[in-house]
Amino acid sequence: MAIAQNAAARYKQLDGLRQSFLRRCETYAFYTLPKLCPPNGYDQETVELNHDFQAVGAQAVNHLANKIMLALFAPGNPFFRADPDPQLLRQIAQLGMAEQELQQALAQGEKQAVAELDRMALRPKLYEAVKQLIVTGNALLCLEQDSARVIGIKHYVVRRSMSGQIVEIIIEDCVLFDELDPDVQAHVARYTHYQPDREVTLYRWINRLPTGEYAMTQWVDQYQLPKQFNGKWPEQHLPYRAMTWDLSDDAHYGTGLVEDYKGDFAGLSALTKAQVQGAILASEFRWLANPAGMTKPEDFQNSANGSVLPGNEGDLVLVQSGKSSDLQVTMAMAAEYIKRIGQGFLLSMAVTRDAERVTAEEIRMQANELETSLGGAYSRLAVDFQLPMAYWLLDRVGMSIRGKAVTPRIVTGMEALSRNGDLDDLKQWLNDAAAVADIANSLPVLNLGPLLTALALPRRVDVSAFLKSPEQMQAEQQQAVDQQNQQAATEAGIQAGADAAANSTKGK
């Protein structure tokens, strides 16, 4: 297939190759949040979105998105750390500046960057990006000069290499002509006349160059804008980040967490629909009237409660479905689906067992186990999401680190989970050490140092910083002996003084 020479035709080419993928994304959104990937032709002003019978999907996605946002961008805490490299530290030392002063300046820049994130009110947009990733598996983060945007899968196309590297991105924005930048309007007006309320399509076509850089051209419908509207960036500073939840080799688009549980969502949807319909049928009833009976249906319908009517007992018979007990099977199966979905999306109601007494430690262990299962997603988000945000925010607050010997290091997400695991290992080793110390008091033949080191190996704890060296222990023992000798000498001097005073008193 020949590559089209203008952005509109190229976008149509790439968009046509992914139609089956978009239909799957629409299905995943239907089970959870339909607004994230609405069907073609949807108009918010005139059409109402169809929602599934169940709302567990929406609850699961919103809950997991909240947990991920708190893990990646905790309010008030920097999600990255600016670390100087050894070369910069040597330069600082030559200038006579203390390393602590540099660390304080970097820490201040980190706080200003997070404050800029809150000042620009970007958290709702980041939250939207996380939901897009969970449901459709894809989202485009645009870190523009004065703002940040999140674009859904239906408004951009991407092409990647076999290794997952971005080769081509085309962004499609349908706007009114008067919403374009005034300079863009003036240029397009040279070729054709547009009414202010006419809808036009703005394309941004980003391509990877042989040098590894990325170049962008902009188009309005079929008209290409001149060079002053182009852009060029090195790979690490590309402002358009095509993020994915899980990306397979040789795939252009990622897959979301909802796709992994598609079978459970489909089953729960069918069972919930059956529950609703069955409950409606179970609640309905009718009366059968004996045509030869004395009781007239009209008298029965128009009578008040407690009225006396002429007739026989069998003139009217109540008819019900009698199938309400069958709903128990449907409810039990739906509960099993809800449990599996809840475990996959970290819903606390599914994490905690159903019992009268559930300890706080049990809840913590179960939650940590499930959160650790999202380690792969945390790792990808740290590279595709947090790191570009760190560069962009530091540039906005005037602490540019491009070309400098300072790099941001992510300290949340998977990094935070790893630190929690290291802390748990250290606490468990300390508990083992306390138990061994009690045994060592009763068994003097035990060599405590090697034993503590052996206990630390399966815990993955480096005890070199915690165990004293033989020289330290010998020095401390010698210091204790010196203190005892000094104390004994002091007590002997006090006793000698007291004896001398007593003898002088007797002499008098």
Q: Return the closest-CA partner of residue 379 out of 337, 418, 434, 431.
A: 418
Confidence at residue 449, expressed as pLDDT on a 0 to 100 scale: 73
Confidence at residue 405, expressed as pLDDT on a 0 to 100 scale: 52
Distance, in Å, from the CA atom of 333 to the CA atom of 401, rounded to the nearest integer, reads 55
The segment with the largest mean pLDDT, out of 75-79, 212-216, 486-490, is: 212-216
Confidence at residue 46, expressed as pLDDT on a 0 to 100 scale: 80
Whether residue 429 has pLDDT greater than 80: no
58 found inside a domain: yes
Backbone angles phi, psi at 445, to 5 degrees: -75, -15
Label residue 157 left, alpha or beta by phi (over 0 means left) and psi (-120 to 50 means alpha): beta
332 found inside a domain: no
> How many CB atoms lie under 10 A from the CB of residue 255?
21
Domain final residue pick, 241, 257, 273: 257
- Total of domains in the chain: 2
247 found inside a domain: yes
Higher pLDDT, 239 or 398: 239
- Predicted confidence band at 17 (pLDDT cuts at 50, 70, 90)? very high
Higher pLDDT, 437 or 412: 437
Domain final residue pick, 211, 232, 257: 257
Whether residue 261 has pLDDT greater than 70: yes
Q: What is the pTM of this model?
A: 0.75
426 found inside a domain: no
Weakest-pLDDT range from 258-272, 293-307, 328-342, 431-445: 431-445
251 found inside a domain: yes
Whether residue 401 has pLDDT greater than 50: no
Domain final residue pick, 257, 274, 303: 257
DSSP 3-state assignment of 316?
Answer: strand
Weakest-pLDDT range from 54-58, 337-341, 397-401: 397-401
Tens of pLDDT, residues 462-474:
766 677 777 777 7
391 found inside a domain: no
Distance, in Å, from the CA atom of 322 to the CA atom of 324, rounded to the nearest integer, reads 6
Distance, in Å, from the CA atom of 394 to the CA atom of 399, rounded to the nearest integer, reads 5
Distance, in Å, from the CA atom of 335 to the CA atom of 328, rounded to the nearest integer, reads 10
Non-local CB neighbours of 387 within 8 Å, separated by 6+ positions? 80, 408, 410
pLDDT, mean of residues 138-157: 91
Distance, in Å, from the CA atom of 188 to the CA atom of 185, rounded to the nearest integer, reads 5
Distance, in Å, from the CA atom of 244 to the CA atom of 137, rounded to the nearest integer, reads 5
Weakest-pLDDT range from 50-54, 76-80, 150-154: 76-80
Weakest-pLDDT range from 134-143, 180-189, 363-372, 407-416: 363-372
Contact 234, 216 (CB under 8 A): no
Q: What is the mean pLDDT of the chain?
A: 81
Non-local CB neighbours of 392 within 8 Å, separated by 6+ positions? 143, 148, 239
pLDDT, mean of residues 343-355: 67
411 found inside a domain: no
Contact 84, 100 (CB under 8 A): no
- Predicted confidence band at 351 (pLDDT cuts at 50, 70, 90)? low
293 found inside a domain: no
pLDDT, mean of residues 16-20: 93
pLDDT, mean of residues 284-307: 84
Whether residue 101 has pLDDT greater than 50: yes
pLDDT, mean of residues 436-453: 71
Whether residue 394 has pLDDT greater than 60: yes
Range(s) of the domain holding residue 477: 471-499
Percent of the chain with pLDDT over 70: 79
Confidence at residue 400, expressed as pLDDT on a 0 to 100 scale: 55
